[in-house]
Structure 1
Amino acid sequence: MKIVKIVVCILFGLMFINAGLNKFFNYMPMPEMTADQMALMGAFVKISWLMPLIGAIEVIGGLLFALPKYRALGAIVILPVMVGIVFHNAIFDPSGLTIALPFFLINLWIIGDNWNKYKPMVSESKSY
């Protein structure tokens, strides 16, 4: 099971590194989009800092996720992006959920697997 987790996490991380780098270098072709999707993409382009920010988060989160020592941090860094991907697919392209939901579940699996590392951040602290 440990080997499966390592392979899954490396592939997950590489997928996000690739998606993030694509936001900077635009080397993957854009899929066909509906009018609603085109309008949304136009809004993203108008907010000139948004796509580079998401791309940077994807690259950093993907790198962290792929490295066992930093995987717990990477899972938290990637989580908001993953939530956005799931919501986007649920609203605009439900067929994309066949990819988005398994990746979201992988993200949740790694968060659950590392829950002890997060406990100090969410538990009540007595040292003020």
Structure 2
Amino acid sequence: MRKLIIILRILLGVILLIGSVPFFLKLTPEAELVGSMKLFNDGINAAIYLMPFIKAVELICGIAFLLNRYVLLASIAILPITINIFLVHCFIAPEGLLLALIMLFCNLFLIYSNKEHYKNLLTAKLSSSI
């Protein structure tokens, strides 16, 4: 089980770095988008800060996963992004669905494997010792 967690953590870290580093270094030309995906992408790019913010979170979380530092925080921080990537590929661009599914699975598995550490986050009432 421990080896599986390490493999999935590293896999997710690599995927996040592959998705974020080229964005900042402009290593690859932007793909020509069409239809709903172009409209969706234009909307994200209209908010000038949004894509750099998303890619910065991906970069930081990818580094955290690879270095095995702050994995609990990185797993929660990247969760909305992986859910959104999955949903975009479910409804708008199904050709990337497999990679999105792998990302979501890795992230959810990392969260599940550390569920004991998240119990206090899901407690409705704080204990009186705080």
State the TM-score, normalized to the length of structure 1: 0.87
Letter of the 2:41 partner, please give it: M
Unaligned runs of 5+ in 1: none
Shift >6 Å, 4+ stretches: none
Unaligned runs of 5+ in 2: none
Bigger mean CA deviation after superposition, 29-38 or 86-95: 29-38
Q: Hey, what does 1:104 align to over in structure 2? A: 104
Tell me: CA distance 1:116–1:69, structure 2 relative to 1, closer, same or farther (3 Å). farther
Q: Hey, what does 1:95 align to over in structure 2? A: 95
Q: Hey, what does 1:57 align to over in structure 2? A: 57
Bigger mean CA deviation after superposition, 94-103 or 26-35: 26-35
- Matching of residue 13 in structure 1 with residue 3 in structure 2: no
Q: How far did 1:59 drift?
A: 0.7
Residue aligned with 1:111, SS: helix
- Tell me the distance in 1 between the aligned counterparts of 2:41 and 2:67: 32
Residue aligned with 2:27, SS: coil
- Tell me the distance in 2 between the aligned counterparts of 1:30 and 1:113: 36
Deviation by residue 1:55-107 (Cα, 9 ceiling, x = unmatched): 11101111222233421111111101001101110111123211211221111
The count of residues paired between Structure 1 and Structure 2 equals 128
- Tell me the distance in 1 between the aligned counterparts of 2:101 and 2:18: 18
- Tell me the distance in 2 between the aligned counterparts of 1:77 and 1:107: 10
Q: Hey, what does 1:86 align to over in structure 2? A: 86
State the TM-score, normalized to the length of structure 2: 0.85
Q: Hey, what does 1:125 align to over in structure 2? A: 126
* Contact 1:62-1:78 within 8 A present in 2 as well: no
Q: How far did 1:32 drift?
A: 4.5
